[in-house]
């Protein structure tokens, strides 16, 4: 494998990128000047050095003041609510809508329909966070309205039911407003607001 093929193979791992697009990226880099390539190089190295994963909600954040992100270390937020979301981009959309003021947990993936083990990503970290959230009254599941999203929501409910029952925590889901097949990342603020208000 030559250098161009090796890089193309790495690009193919990106979400939504196929072999043809991966090759276009490589040709683009070959055509770009050395300055652009070295900028890209250092941006990638800096990413690992400066962006951290929050100990509490598992989102990525740029700050090294502590092990928790700005949301989790903000004591003015509502400790009664925890919203479970698939990925960072979804969290950004909900946060931008301004309709939610509780805390978050980023699952970091979905449960595949083909995965019969039904293993939840980050399950132990999620349970630990719930154990440590003394004032928690409600867990809101904000999964995409796809078959896989619903399957993931059901898996979360099964995993959390014992602790929710024991602690008298309600588990709710986003309500109307989100059309079937919707990815939260692309939902507009008004839709997210209405889905949060009509949760059930």
Under a CB-based contact definition with an 8 Å cutoff, are residues 66 and 72 in contact?
no
Under a CB-based contact definition with an 8 Å cutoff, are residues 72 and 54 in contact?
yes
Q: Tell me the window of 25-33, 63-71, 92-100, 127-135 that interacts with Zn ion (CB under 5 A).
A: 63-71
Count of positions on this chain that bind Zn ion (CB under 5 A): 5
Instruction: Return d(Cα 146, Cα 186) in angstroms, integer.
Output: 14
The nearer residue to Zn ion, 97 or 145, going by C-beta atoms, is 97
Angle 166-91-75 (CA atoms, 0-180°, nearest 5)?
65
Tell whether residue 187 is a contact of Zn ion (CB under 5 A): no
Least separation in angstroms between residue 78's CB and Zn ion is 15
Tell whether residue 54 is a contact of Zn ion (CB under 5 A): yes
The nearer residue to Zn ion, 59 or 110, going by C-beta atoms, is 59
Helix-strand-coil split of the chain, %, nearest 5: 45, 15, 40
Give the orientation angle of helix 147-167 with respect to helix 123-132, to 10 degrees: 40
Q: Tell me the window of 27-35, 48-56, 146-154, 186-194 that interacts with Zn ion (CB under 5 A).
A: 48-56
Least separation in angstroms between residue 2's CB and Zn ion is 42
Q: Tell me the window of 67-75, 83-91, 137-145, 156-164 that interacts with Zn ion (CB under 5 A).
A: 67-75
The pair of structure tokens assigned to 137 is 């009254």
Q: Can you give the three-state secondary structure of 51-112, one letter per residue?
A: EEECCCCCCEEECCCCCCCCCCCCCCCEEEEEEEECCHHHHHHHHHHCCCCEEEEECCCCCC
Out of 56, 93, 97, 133, name the contact with Zn ion by CB under 5 A. 56
The nearer residue to Zn ion, 61 or 169, going by C-beta atoms, is 61
Tell whether residue 69 is a contact of Zn ion (CB under 5 A): yes
The nearer residue to Zn ion, 72 or 187, going by C-beta atoms, is 72
Least separation in angstroms between residue 70's CB and Zn ion is 8
- State the residues that interact with Zn ion by CB under 5 A: 54, 56-57, 69, 72
């Amino acid at each position: 494998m030559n250098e161009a093929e090796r890089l193309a193979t790495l690009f193919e791992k990106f979400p939504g990128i196929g072999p043809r697009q991966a090759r276009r990226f490589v040709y683009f880099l070959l055509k770009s000047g050395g300055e652009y390539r070295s900028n890209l190089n250092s941006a990638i190295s800096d990413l690992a050095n400066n962006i951290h994963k929050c100990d509490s909600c598992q989102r990525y954040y740029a700050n090294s003041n502590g092990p928790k992100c700005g949301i989790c270390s903000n004591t003015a937020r509502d400790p009664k609510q925890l919203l479970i979301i698939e990925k960072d981009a979804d969290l950004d959309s909900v946060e931008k809508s301004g309709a939610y003021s509780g805390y978050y947990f980023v699952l970091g993936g979905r449960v595949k329909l083909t995965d019969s083990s039904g293993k939840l990503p980050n399950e132990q970290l999620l349970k630990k966070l719930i154990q440590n959230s003394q004032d928690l009254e409600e867990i809101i599941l904000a999964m995409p309205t796809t078959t896989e999203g619903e399957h993931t929501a059901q898996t979360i409910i099964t995993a959390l039911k014992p602790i929710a029952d024991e602690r008298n925590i309600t588990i709710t889901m986003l309500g109307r407003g989100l059309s079937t097949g919707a990815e939260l990342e692309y939902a507009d603020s008004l839709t997210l607001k209405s889905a949060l208000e009509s949760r059930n």
